[in-house]
Structure 1
């Protein structure tokens, strides 16, 4: 049995505008400078705490400030009235085909777990994922391989039959740290050069191309 593990933000879902809008709203509320949307392509990928830290001016990156803005961000993001988030073109047909062919599919994200679950329910209600994991308190974040290794153990597959699909250096490092096949996608938040530099074994430009690899 083969397992395909997907990153979420920048791989399955285009969440950039909602993440950027939410972070900018919190920065503005606390009196800090905001950022253009393109800047958030480099801020995301290591979890929401690191997002807040990167968005703050360097001198403001105290534990107290980061903690306060992190709590405010989570509240705002979860209650944001207007959502621009959507699956990337071709993702839902790909997931449907993978399931029809008998593959196991799962999600391993650095987004905090409590935010991942409602997103999956909202945007993929008809896709039966075999496992969905966001970042959980007390567990290391990617690029630590723990979340991938947990997925492999839970679903009972061999590493040789596991593929990790993501859009960033964090994802490629995670796959390589877990000794599974690293597949980089170019439709997300980072560029092809970054993916190659961090050990992508394959690069795909459209979701359907994944089927030619696995």
Structure 2
């Protein structure tokens, strides 16, 4: 397969490493996440906040998500542990009830694999939830690394997870790509010295993606194969 135009422009060949975010990049998971958030809120006697609101909160990990929902509904911090545990239990029981793979994810993964490009999955989702989702969609075997929020000492927007993978194969940072959907992914990519690709269809944390000055904004992952 010929080298796609963006990779050819940046590297003159295929990248040495491609790192992917999960939620909002490879899978549309907000419906199941919102169900779990609403579940713990109702347990606490609060009204559900719904999918549209939760969509604005996804991306910085489960702890941050729970705290944002608590703040939104005026729940006291002292109930955090109960809320967090209730969220984890509710989400674990419905990881893939409504979650869907985005368009052309498989096409991109297959093309990268065919051209011997190592891939990493780097997410701020708790690790216990990551592998089951990947296995449900039969894509776990594409990734040489699967890093959740609690895998290393730091998570995105720290560059540590990205650099951990690059250093493992002695990849040059300027020959690597991070593909995500949010400011969290963008900051991690910039700090690591990776090319910064953002998809426009994901969860943007209410941030204008154009303001992040990514190397590339795309509406569909297939654009990376053109």
Both structures adopt the same fold (TM-score exceeding 0.5): yes
CA–CA distance in 2 between the matches of 1:86 and 1:152?
29
Corresponding residue number in structure 2 for 1:144: 158
CA contact (8 A) 1:163 1:183 kept: yes
Q: Specify the SS of the correspondent of 2:148.
A: strand
Task: Give me the TM-score of the superposition, normalised by structure 2.
Answer: 0.86
Structure 2 vs 1, CA of residues 209 and 138 (structure 1 numbering), >3 Å: closer, same or farther? closer
Give the alignment partner of residue 60 of structure 1, picking from 51, 61, 75.
Answer: 75
Structure 2 vs 1, CA of residues 104 and 138 (structure 1 numbering), >3 Å: closer, same or farther? closer
Q: CA offset at residue 197 of structure 1?
A: 1.5
Matched, 1:116 2:130: yes
Larger mean Cα displacement after TM superposition, 126-135 or 17-26: 126-135
CA contact (8 A) 2:95 2:129 kept: no
Corresponding residue number in structure 1 for 2:38: 24
For structure 1, which runs of at least 5 residues remain unmatched after alignment?
A: none
RMSD: 2.1
CA–CA distance in 1 between the matches of 2:59 and 2:206?
15
Aligned 1:68-79 pairs, distance under 5 A: 68-79=82-93
Task: Give me the TM-score of the superposition, normalised by structure 1.
Answer: 0.90
CA–CA distance in 2 between the matches of 1:153 and 1:160?
12
For structure 2, which runs of at least 5 residues remain unmatched after alignment?
A: 1-14
CA contact (8 A) 2:180 2:198 kept: yes
Larger mean Cα displacement after TM superposition, 150-159 or 85-94: 150-159
Structure 2 vs 1, CA of residues 102 and 72 (structure 1 numbering), >3 Å: closer, same or farther? same
Give the alignment partner of residue 173 of structure 2, picking from 159, 164, 179.
Answer: 159
Structure 2 vs 1, CA of residues 72 and 149 (structure 1 numbering), >3 Å: closer, same or farther? same
CA–CA distance in 1 between the matches of 2:84 and 2:170?
35
Give the alignment partner of residue 182 of structure 1, picking from 196, 203, 212.
Answer: 196
CA contact (8 A) 2:183 2:207 kept: no
Corresponding residue number in structure 1 for 2:9: none
Structure 2 vs 1, CA of residues 103 and 168 (structure 1 numbering), >3 Å: closer, same or farther? same
What count of residue pairs does the alignment treat as equivalent? 211
Corresponding residue number in structure 2 for 1:86: 100
CA–CA distance in 1 between the matches of 2:177 and 2:95?
35
Corresponding residue number in structure 1 for 2:5: none
CA contact (8 A) 2:131 2:140 kept: no
Q: CA offset at residue 23 of structure 1?
A: 0.6
Q: CA offset at residue 196 of structure 1?
A: 2.3
Structure 2 vs 1, CA of residues 193 and 50 (structure 1 numbering), >3 Å: closer, same or farther? closer
CA contact (8 A) 2:55 2:205 kept: no
